[in-house]
Structure 1
Amino acid sequence: MALIEGLNAALTLELPRIVFYCDYFPIYQFVTGRWNPKQRKIEALVDQVTQLREKFTYCIPSLVARNDVKFAFKLAREAIVSQVNRSTDTSAEGSLYETCVICFEEMSIDEIFSVDGCMHRFCYSCMKQHVEVKMLHGMVPKCPHEGCDCELKVDSCSKFLTPKLVEIMKQRKKEASIPVTEKVYCPYPKCSALMSKGEVSEYSRSSAIDVGRSGSRKCIKCNGLFCIDCKVPWHDNMTCFAYKKKYPNPPGEDLKLKTLAQRNMWRQCVKCNHMIELAAGCYHMTCRCGYEFCYTCGAEWKEKKATCSCPLWDDGHIIYDSDEEFDEEFDEDSEDEDYYESDSDDYY
């Protein structure tokens, strides 16, 4: 849409020859005809770009690295911020209005959210979409302003989030607060509560469980006993080795899950064994335990770099087919769903 607006502006200025630069690879592939859009909305936008390009005597796209045009983004954002308007509209009974720097809509200041700490301001609608997308991919939401690392507070975000999304945000913050090596998940399917090793050990001691001599622990949520070493329900009077030898095959429910996973091409994290489904984005996956791997072959990612030669993404997973598809991601119980992130926010 920004490209279409730019092309229309160039036509208004009667510029016959132009080169427009793309720092986003998928858009460059679309406008050059190398990729065919699978979504109707994107196809309509690409067709509109094609029609506008035909009105120029010379109109060529050029692909550039985002780092090479950082200065342009900086100038654009400064121009956007300069357009913020807090003047009084006397025709609207003295109400104050402000332009959201994300959607450019003029909103009543009652619908503008101010981020605690940095005081950057955005409308409730844009903030809600921003927070939803971040949480959908297992990330702790931060201020949308470029380069700002100020984390959003749950209490403040409750102004524009539903109670269910508030609970998901609390879960995301808890996941981020526990180091990867300290994370423990309850093995009982109906619970799956997240705990830290220290937290679960302290709770088990208060419940008169000898945590020093055995691997027995008690879940802080469902009170179910489980083994901290092999991450299964507690096997009384049996070592972990003996338990695995006696029960080499997974339970019936696990077999059904694995069959379903094979049918839907889900992947299982080799570190924590949680099942993962790629909803959208690239094939660089980050499990909720922190383990990073390639969704295609399972190879580990090290220092944000792939150790395999698989393609980074597929066009069909980059952009949602419809708004409803995005909304459905939050229809399931948040405790039973795992959300994962790509290495680049640009793909969402």
Structure 2
Amino acid sequence: MSDNHAANSVIESSDDEKEAGPSIINKELQSDVMNRPSVEFQCCACTDRFSCASMVTTPCGHRYCAECIKSLFMRSTRDEGLYPPKCCREQIPLALVAKHMHTDEFAAFELASVEYATRNRTYCSNYACATFIAPYNIELGTERATCPKCSTDTCVICNNRYHYGTDCPDDHALRQTRDLAREMGWQTCFACDRVVQLRSGCNHMTCPCSAEFCYACGVRWKECTCETADPNRIEERAEEIVDRDAGPNLLPAERIRRVYGLVAELQENHECEHSQKFQRIDDGAPRRGFRCEMCDARHHKYILQCRRCYVNVCEDCRRNRI
């Protein structure tokens, strides 16, 4: 019997154990086989094979090689939508990955954790730097934040360079941004003050900071009386999906028929939580490849499509983001 087969089989005790001394229970025998250097398993991210001892098994049961799981954690320091790192919606404990991180990588992840937990964040006013300034680098009583990277002093009120001995000036650029947002009908996240734009779909917004709110009024999701979906945006989304999947040769009459058929489906499933299985789309790829509608990355081999709401996502986003 090969090691690979043994690793996935139930190991039973043999009569020889009685002569050799106290028997080892089946669970211990299986653990022994699983940890043999010769037993290899496939990494769910890169699909290469590695010894079981060098892999990390997440709470949901998926196995990652050390480099892929570390890459996920480091990407989460640059992409708040991936924080906290998770697989199949279950958070991956830092303790499982810490031993594979260098000291500077661990420090970067810890700093990102502080950043994402900070309600009113301050970033270095030196645009060439723009480093996050943690609360412990802000001088109490002066509203002065000192950048740990370039030593620039920033005002935590207006996020411009610190203005010694004068009142905080009006932030003209910020005011212009807010005015433009109101003019364009954009919404501001109540948790992190990001300005967001809804292109199509329902009013349920999930900010990169993970806050959920109503796009119509900006209130925390399901705490308002607004309609959950704008019919016009639902129709726009239906048109977007039909045009994305049908190609340029679809006859106008057939396009209209498909759009109206899809509108009915989206009205029913516009609050989709993507709990159903995804189908793999691997033919008819555009010249630039399939586009993931969550991270905007392009993929030439295949894309995954939700069977209920028809959103296209890449493998990474399906497993680690939604």
Fold similarity call, TM over 0.5: no
Coarse TM-score class (shorter-chain normalised): 0.3 to 0.5
TM-score by length of structure 2 reads 0.44
TM-score by length of structure 1 reads 0.42
